[in-house]
Structures are given as structure tokens and as C-alpha cells.
A and B are shown apart, each in its own frame.
Chain A
Amino acid sequence: AQSVTQPDIHITVSEGASLELRCNYSYGATPYLFWYVQSPGQGLQLLLKYFSGDTLVQGIKGFEAEFKRSQSSFNLRKPSVHWSDAAEYFCAVGAAGAGSYQLTFGKGTKLSVIP
């Protein structure tokens, strides 16, 4: 069974500083990987996804993530954080089978931004 670990429960960064959120996955085959963001009281918004190909994936809002198979990681990065980036971030691994698709999420990392 697949699993996702987000080691950092809460991260605080200053506005303008760089950001890296960690994600480690466990999956027996080639993983499909996702990052979502959730603002308070809202649903999930897809930031980026990795299915195959280039291991550096660009997403919306200036985010990028790098897939490293040897480390089973898919870390999310942003070079300069804005106050509006404060939210909760979820990494997920996808599994397709029997004509359906299931996402397994990590527990999330809450990002706080200091002005």
C-alpha cells in the first residue's frame, strides 16, 4: 500500500525568503505525485503534478517540485514566498487500478509567513 510522509508539521518563513516543503512517498511502482494547497475553510487546489518525464515540474503560483526516485522524495520549492502563500500544503501519491484512481495524502505542512 502506498503512503506519504510530510516530516514538517509547521514551517514559518519570512516574506521574500525561499521555501522547501519535504515529501517522502512509499509506492511499489512508478509513482504519480501531486502537491495541493488548502487555504482555511477551502477545498484543495492543485499546484502541480508529476506523471512522467522531466523530474523538475513547474506549477502555478511560482512553485516547482523535483522528483527524486533514489530518495523517494518529491519536495516542493518556491524561491521567494509571498504572504498570500500562507496555507496548508499536502503532498499525495496516486494509484490507478481496477478502473479507478485513488490519492493517498500526507498529513500536511502548515506554512506561516512573517511579513
Chain B
Amino acid sequence: DAGVTQSPTHLIKTRGQQVTLRCSPKSGHDTVSWYQQALGQGPQFIFQYYEEEERQRGNFPDRFSGHQFPNYSSELNVNALLLGDSALYLCASSLGRGSAPLHFGNGTRLTVT
């Protein structure tokens, strides 16, 4: 039974570019959450998707957007990258609307130069 899978594992981008990160939830899960973890910090909530809609957003600018597909997989898009966007981006999945994200992927390490 595959857990939460994220791709790519590492990514290097230049300031001003755009990036797309991908997440496949654990089998049977229908809710996906995204978190940003800066170096030396705890993860911070970006948003949660359920039934292909963004249900709640944390304190992140509109440069951060997402999408959930009918198969429950999800993408996180970040536009106009800043140096401060360098972080580990974690995806978590769960079952049901408003469910707690108990299962996390290994993350995508984004470096912006």
C-alpha cells in the first residue's frame, strides 16, 4: 500500500520563475494538505483541498496556488519565486472533509537561487 508520494524530490529554480510540485495521496484518501517547512522551522499550513476545491488557506500570498484532480492527486504551484520560498514542501493526505492530515510524504526540497 503506497503512502503519500511527492515529486520531484529536489528542485532548483531561479528567482522569478514558476514551479509545480506534485502529490499523490495515500490509497483511499481524498483530502490533500500542503505545508511549507523552512530550514530550522516547523511546517506551516498552506492550504487544504477536498473535492477539487481549496477549503482553507493559511497565511500565504496568492503566488501560491493549487489544484486537486478527480483522482485526488494534487499540485502546488508557486509563481514569481523569491529566495524566501526555498523550503521543504510537504504534502499530507487524509480521508474525509475536514479530516486531520495524519500521513505525510517525504517532501520536495525547493531551492531558489
Contact = CB atoms under 8 A, between A and B. Distances in A.
B42 A106 contact: yes
Contacts of B104: 36, 43-46
Interface string A32-64: 101010000111111001000000000000000
B78 interface: no
20 contacts: A34-B100, A41-B109, A42-B106, A42-B107, A43-B4, A44-B92, A45-B104, A94-B100, A96-B100, A99-B56, A99-B97, A99-B98, A100-B48, A100-B50, A101-B48, A101-B56, A101-B100, A103-B45, A105-B42, A108-B42
A96 B98 contact: yes
Contacts of A99: 50, 55-56, 97-98
A74 interface: no
B56 A102 contact: yes
Given A32-B100, A44-B90, A96-B98, A102 B106 contact: no
Interface in B31-53: 33, 35, 40-45, 48, 50
Interface string B73-113: 00000000000000000101010011111111111010000
Interface of B: 4, 33, 35, 40-45, 48, 50, 55-56, 58, 90, 92, 94, 97-107, 109
Interface in A66-115: 90, 92, 94, 96-108
B55 A100 contact: yes
B102 A46 contact: yes
A33 to B, nearest CB: 11
Contacts of B56: 97-102
